[in-house]
Structure formats: C-alpha cells, structure tokens
Amino acid sequence: MKSHFLSMTLLVTGLQLSTTAQTQVRQAGAGMPVYQSEAFTVFHNRVEQNGFTATAVSPYEMNADYKSPDADKYTPDATWKKTLNTDAFPQYRSDYLISDAIYNLSLEEMIRAVEPDSTFRTGKEWSGVWTRDISYSIILSMAHLQPKVAINSLMRKVNGNKRIIQDTGTGGAWPNSTDRMIWATAAWEVYKATGDRQWLEQAYTIIRNSIEDDLLTIYNPVTGLVKGESSFLDWREQTYPLWMQPADIFESECLGTNAVHYQANKVLADMADLLHEVAVAQKHRQIAHNIKEGINRYLWMADKNTYAQYLYGRNFKIVSPRSEALGEALCVIFGIAGKEQAEKLVANTPVTPYGIPCIWPQIPNIPPYHNNGIWPFVQSFWLWAGASVHNQQSVMESIGAIYRPAAMFLTNKENFVAENGDLSGTQINSSIMLWSLSGNLSLVHKVLFGIRFEPGHLAFRPFVPEALKGNRSLTNFKYRHAVLDIEMTGFGNTIKSMTLDGKDLTNHTIPGNLEGRHAVTIHLDSQPAPPAITNRVPVVFSPEAPIVQLTGETASWTPVKGAVAYIILVNGVAFDTITSTHYNLQQVSRQAPTPHLQVIAINGDGIGSFASEPVVYLASGNGNLHIVQAETIAPKAEHPYTGASEGGFIEISKNVNTTVSFPVTVETAGLYAIDFRYSNGNGPTNTENKCAIRTLKVDNRAVNAIIFPQRGKEEWSAWGFSNALTAYLTKGNHTITLSFEPANENMHGEINQAMIDYMRVLLLKEGN
C-alpha cells in the first residue's frame, strides 16, 4: 500500500498532524510491549517503569509522572510540548508514537543547543565548546544536521599553531589525556556529509600536525599503542585505582583512547588519498595498523571474548579486565575487531537492565558518574555496534535504554545511575546534553534508516528490529545539494528493493553529485533475524584494591571486605594465590634484581579488585637504585616549598633550566627505569592545562617524553613521581638529560613548569 506519510498537512505552526490510519495503528498496538527488561517496558506510545509512566500524547507532546527517590533534589518536568519550528530539519514519522515524540523532542533540543555565536553548547548547564563532546556529537548526527555549526565548533578547538586542543584531562590536559584526536573522525564525517573540499584541506593540515605531535610524545614503540587517559572517562577515581597518580594515568594504554587514535590515523590516510599525498597515506595507514595490532594483541581477552579496559601499572604493566563500554563499541564500529570477534564482543560485553554501564564491574565507594553510570551517548555507540553485527537483541536493548530516560525525564540527560536508572547521586548532570540528543537522532538516521556517509556517495544499511516493523518516513533529509524524502517499509537488515524517483537502485547508494528534491523508497525483506544473545548482568561491585606495606622482607595488607583469596603478582605476572594477608618476599627475590609486587583481592564470585600499588623489593641491595639530587647539578630554587629530600630542589620552566643533565654511574649493565620526584602546583588534578613536558635523553639520544602533571592548585609541596621511561645502560658513566624541545609545548603554551627534587634510576633486568 502506498504510504500516506508524505501527504500530511501542516498547521500554521509547522507541526504535522497524524493521520487517521496512523492513529488506528497506534491504538491497536498500544497494549503490546515493544521492548521489556527487568526494569522497564516500552510500548508503542509509552514507557513504564516501577509504577511510573511516560506517555506520548502526540508526536509533539509527552507527559511523565516520574518521581525521583530524592525528589527534593530533582523533580522532572511533567510535560513536554513542542514549541520551536523544526521544519528545516528531517521530519520523522512511524507507526510508533513514542519514537516520533522522542525524535521531535531531540530535534527541538538540538536547536536549543546552538549558541548565539553559532557553535554548539555542550548542555543546558554547560556553556562553551568541549573537544570530545562536540566531536562525538558530530559523529553521531550533527555533521549532517548542522554542518556549519559543526565546523564552527570544531575550529573553536584548534589553537593558533593549527593543533587540536585537549581541553580537559587529569593533571593538566594533554598529554595526560589524549582523546582530542576524536576531532579527526568528526571532521571526516563533516566532509563526507558535505563534500566540502576546502574543509577537507583545512582539517587535513590540523589532523596531521596534531598526530605528528603525538608521535613524539605518547606512542609506545613496544606495544604499538598510545598512552593517555581513557577517552571521555576523565575523572581519575571514577575509572582508575586510587593509588594511581596523574603520571600513572598518562602511562595507561586504554582501549577507547587507542580506538580513537586508530581511527584518526585511518582518517588522515583516507584524506591523504583524496589529496594525492601518497607517502602520508602509507605512513598513517601503517600506524593505524600498528595500533590495531596492539589492541588485539594486548587488550583482547579470549577467555571473555571482550576487550580489556587498559594496561596499567608502572614498570611492569598489567591488564585491567574490566569492560569499558565506549571502547568496546568503537572497536566494533571502526573495524578493529574482526567480524567473528565483533559478534562475540557484542554478545559477551556486560549490559545491565537499564543499559550498558561505562565500566563493569563497578568500583566500590566511588559515587555514580562514570562509575556506576550509564551515559546515553555511549549507549548510542553501543547501539551502532549491535546493529553492525546484526544482533537484534542488542539493538532492542539499546533502543529501550535510550528511549526510557528521554521519556521519563522529558529531556536528554547526560547520565544516570546504573543501579536504579535515576539521576539522584550522579556527580554532575544536565538537560539538553548535546551528545545525548545527537545519539537519539542517530538512532533514527544511522540505525533504523542505516544512512552512511561515504566520500563520494550516500549508502543505506538499515537495521529495523522485528519489534519495530511497519512503515516509517524521513522527509526533508538534506544531503549535499539534494533533498531526500525517504519512505521505508518492513523490518530486518536486508534491502529487498530500493528506488530513486521510481527507478531501481540496486547498489543502494545515492551519488554525491545529486541535486534537487527526490523520493527514495526502501522495502526491507522482513525476514526474522537469526537468534542472538547478550550478556545481561546485574550491577556488580568489585572488591577494594589492597593497600600493601613493605616491612623488611614481608609484604602485608589489611583484609579486604568480601575477599576470599589474594593473587600475588611479581613484575606483572601472577606468581601465587594465598588466603592470608601477608607474604614473605624471599621467594620472589630471584625473579629480578628489583621485584615489583602487587596484590589483587578476589571475592567469592571470582571478581577481582584493581591491583595494589606496586611495591619494590630491593632484593640485592641499594646498588640497583641510584638517586641523583637535582640541586647538585643545577642552581637550587629559592621557593619556600617544603617536603623535598636533602638539600632542596630546582625549577624547570620555559626559561629556567631548559636543559638539565644528570650524571649517573651504574655498576651493572641492563634495563633501567628512569623517573623524577617532582611537584607541579600550577593547577588541580582534574582541570586546567599546565602539565609540564620534557624530552628525556640518554647520552644525547632521545628516549621519549617525561611528563610532570599538575598535582593540585598551589600544592607545590605535594611531591610525587613522573612517569618512568626505560633505557638500556652499559656499565659505567652516563648522562641523562631533561630537555625542553619544540615537541614539549603543552596546551597552555606559556606555563610549562615543575620543581625537580631528584632523579631515580632503577635496575629492572640485568644484561641485554
């Protein structure tokens, strides 16, 4: 039957009326659940949860009676009514009133999310442009819905040196946090949606410059992976053990962040192809390959069929086996996981009744935010992952998890508590969140209709679960110089037939040079999807990480609540499993000159804690540890800071001690770890951008970057250690240099300062 959707009349306000046929369809199905979990149920016209109901009265009005358990702090609006004219944007209609209403709510909030200067506002409570927020939002749907605002916003996050700005992150932004490179994928999406050659050339230069800086600072040549905080998970205690300092977080090699850098290098290579830069394309395609190989070698857990959260530790890194939702999703979407691997990943990654949590299991005694939190934008990327492997169960779980909070709260919130789906207890939140609403719109455009932007054409790869079968339309969809009115019928992920203005389109693509208004009709084959599973689990908390103390030859710790056993790690490898809370280190002294011991607590369900902070046992005496006081090789600083060892400390900045050389004599040839005791009081641990960076050289040979992150505002007497770099030293005299190089510019540009107490050189392995 020919669709009636394109003949809808318009009110003077621009709102569309539903037809009698649509009303009959919706009323007939109003009592049939579309999706049901242990926590809530989605119907054609409403969502029900624990006695509360959110109802779509029309495509332009919803009512909700949801009440938070902590109603004094948060009471959602009871009604949403569309008040803005959204006719300039794609109009969506379907047989599912709740879907139409949430789409229109999100479309209206998208308009509200644009600032007067034509950049995106991050959220109702968050003014200004944030690199990762706008980038993920642009990838989801803003690239094609508001390309000019997207470009304005992206350029707001580029500095005068044509580098992408890392605006947040533990310990002073870049290079502690390095996920600024998601900007590249967003810029590429804008180009594919618009075909704007000038934008391609502009973005290419910015991306290339930024990656070149990264290559000198954050790449680990051993693993092929990049360093830096987990993408978007930028509150250290929310996803890292409490003992990890900002420098430790810099040294972590994280799933999501590496997926971001893989795709950034791939994007740069694809851009270089279009610009006929053959050598650049080859170089960055190889770098992308190396990152992909590193992810699959070091982070894939074959026993769980999921990726690990990150590598962490100090001189001997270990795997954190927690699941990290955004990283898992990006590995599927970007093709880092192979086909069968991706299918297993979607089937095995833990999801909870309210959606996929940012991490699983949760960390005890940390309030909900990233920990014990579900973020709708992450859920949207997980929806994409499920659709890409044709897992219908996963797709419906994600659609339900996206619709529920939008309907109950009558806005697109940033996050909510994984345990109960509520907002109370979340550390920071906002309505009209850009990436949440962008995800909601992408549900229709990029999943149900399967719209994919390619450099030269528009492709369609729809996925409509059987529970959402029926008719749907997307009219006034703007693609470059064309406007498309799209009708689609049926369900499934296979296009039975597709026409453009009545003519068959066997390749299911629209050419990029199409102009004018056109009608597109898609009929899906409506074949039942093959059986699929997901890993539905409750919200679970791991044990606390043990705090280990070393006294002589005995390591000990306080019993951990719920723990039934403890795994002893030596140099990053499981060495023993015990039930007591102390361990004699004589038996590990033969493992290395300086064994590093850690402890993991295991509960009755076999869930482990984070590993404890490494303690170093100097089994062979202090001859394996060399300390060089900074004030013995450079002028002592006169600042009144306390806590430095022995005779004081020195200052390093952009104009003081720009090069400092430390002499050291070692008695044993081998692999050594080199780090520095320092302080940096130029900012707090969680904001600002004054991380100090230097190049470490051994006998005038550059090794890599040493960083001195912020440790607290004006906390110049709060001393800690930098990251450690390893170098092979022959027996005898060596010169180790801290040098300020052009590659060491930070995000602030002017303040690049730290105080140095001493250098530490520790033998890890004897011989070659």
Cα-only R_g, the chain: 28
Q: Which residue do the tokens 């003077």 mark?
A: 12
If you average pLDDT over residues 196-215, what whole number do you get?
A: 98
Selected residue with higher pLDDT from 648 and 621: 648
The token pair that represents 76 in the structure block: 């959602």
If you average pLDDT over residues 351-356, what whole number do you get?
A: 98
If you average pLDDT over residues 330-337, what whole number do you get?
A: 98
Residue 326: the pLDDT is 98
For the cut 90, the answer to whether the pLDDT of residue 106 exceeds it is yes
For the cut 60, the answer to whether the pLDDT of residue 115 exceeds it is yes
For the cut 90, the answer to whether the pLDDT of residue 752 exceeds it is yes
Confirm if 121 and 128 have CB atoms less than 8 A apart.
Answer: yes
Count other C-beta atoms under 10 Å from residue 304's C-beta: 16
Dump strand ranges (E) for 635-683: 650-652, 659-666, 670-679, 682-683
For the cut 90, the answer to whether the pLDDT of residue 345 exceeds it is yes
Report the DSSP beta bridge partners of residue 524.
495
Amino acid at 707: I
In Å, how far are 66, 174, 754, 755 from 710, measured between CA atoms? 42, 11, 9, 11
Length of the chain: 768
DSSP state of 90: -
For the cut 60, the answer to whether the pLDDT of residue 27 exceeds it is no
pLDDT band at 646 (very low <50, low <70, confident <90, very high): confident
Q: Give the Cα-Cα-Cα angle 671, 673, 678 (nearest 5 degrees).
A: 165
If you average pLDDT over residues 172-184, what whole number do you get?
A: 96
d(CA 359, CA 369): 11
pLDDT band at 686 (very low <50, low <70, confident <90, very high): confident
Q: From the centroid of its chain, how far is CA 709?
A: 21
Q: Provide, rounded to the nearest whole percent, the portion of the chain with pLDDT above 90.
A: 89
Alpha-carbon dihedral angle through residues 468, 474, 479, 481, given to the nearest 10 degrees: 160
Residue 73: the pLDDT is 62
Domain architecture of the chain: domains with CATH:
542-616 (2.60.40.10), 622-766 (2.60.120.260)
If you average pLDDT over residues 156-173, what whole number do you get?
A: 94
d(CA 683, CA 716): 10
Q: Which residue do the tokens 């400390």 mark?
A: 649
Describe the crossing of helices 255-274 and 197-215 by its angle, rounded to 10 degrees. Answer: 130
Residue 620: the pLDDT is 65
Q: In this predicted model, what pLDDT tens digit does every residue of 220-269 receive, in sequence order? A: 999 999 999 999 998 889 999 999 999 999 999 999 999 999 999 999 99
Q: In this predicted model, what pLDDT tens digit does every residue of 398-440 receive, in sequence order? A: 999 999 999 999 999 999 999 999 998 899 999 999 999 999 9
Count other C-beta atoms under 10 Å from residue 198's C-beta: 8
The pairing of strands 457-460 and 451-453 is antiparallel
Confirm if 708 and 691 have CB atoms less than 8 A apart.
Answer: yes
Q: Provide, rounded to the nearest whole percent, the portion of the chain with pLDDT above 70.
A: 95
Spatial neighbors of 54 by CB under 8 A, at least 6 apart, are: 46, 47, 62, 63, 64, 65, 66, 407, 408, 410
Report the DSSP beta bridge partners of residue 521.
487, 499
Spatial neighbors of 689 by CB under 8 A, at least 6 apart, are: 166, 167, 172, 173, 174, 683, 746, 747, 748
d(CA 393, CA 228): 34
If you average pLDDT over residues 133-139, what whole number do you get?
A: 98
For the cut 60, the answer to whether the pLDDT of residue 14 exceeds it is no
Q: In this predicted model, what pLDDT tens digit does every residue of 558-581 receive, in sequence order? A: 999 999 999 999 999 999 999 999
For the cut 70, the answer to whether the pLDDT of residue 13 exceeds it is no
Average pLDDT along the chain: 94
d(CA 707, CA 218): 10
Count other C-beta atoms under 10 Å from residue 31's C-beta: 9
In Å, how far are 68, 98, 354, 373 from 420, measured between CA atoms? 10, 22, 7, 10
Burial (CB < 10 A; 0-12, 13-18, 19+), residue 346, is buried
In Å, how far are 182, 228, 543, 687, 713 from 236, measured between CA atoms? 20, 12, 18, 11, 16
The pairing of strands 659-666 and 416-417 is unpaired
d(CA 50, CA 354): 12
pLDDT band at 287 (very low <50, low <70, confident <90, very high): very high
Q: In this predicted model, what pLDDT tens digit does every residue of 582-635 receive, in sequence order? A: 999 887 877 788 999 999 999 999 999 999 999 999 866 678 999 999 999 999
Confirm if 178 and 184 have CB atoms less than 8 A apart.
Answer: no
The token pair that represents 357 in the structure block: 């949590």
Residue 71: the pLDDT is 61
DSSP assignments along 22-72, one per residue: HHHHHHHHTTSEEEE-SS-EEESSEEEETTEEEEEEETTEEEE----TTTT
Residue 10: the pLDDT is 28
In Å, how far are 155, 588, 680, 685 from 644, measured between CA atoms? 43, 32, 13, 20
| CA within 13 Å, CB half, 70 | 10
Strands laid side by side in the 495-500 sheet: 91-94, 470-479, 482-490, 516-524, 495-500, 503-504
The widest CA-to-CA distance across the chain, in whole angstroms, is 89
Buried b (16+ CB within 10 A) or exposed e, 170-187: bbbbbbbbbbbbbbbbbb
Confirm if 392 and 448 have CB atoms less than 8 A apart.
Answer: no
Spatial neighbors of 396 by CB under 8 A, at least 6 apart, are: 34, 35, 465, 467
If you average pLDDT over residues 42-62, what whole number do you get?
A: 97
pLDDT band at 32 (very low <50, low <70, confident <90, very high): confident
d(CA 121, CA 119): 7
Supply the pTM of this predicted model.
0.95
The token pair that represents 211 in the structure block: 């990656």
Q: Mapping DSSP to helix (H, G, I), strand (E, B) and coil, where does residue 188 land?
A: helix
If you average pLDDT over residues 315-323, what whole number do you get?
A: 97
Q: In this predicted model, what pLDDT tens digit does every residue of 532-550 receive, in sequence order? A: 999 999 999 999 999 999 9
| CA within 13 Å, CB half, 729 | 30
For the cut 50, the answer to whether the pLDDT of residue 4 exceeds it is no
Residue 205: the pLDDT is 98
DSSP assignments along 237-265, one per residue: HHHS-TT--HHHHHH-EEHHHHHHHHHHH
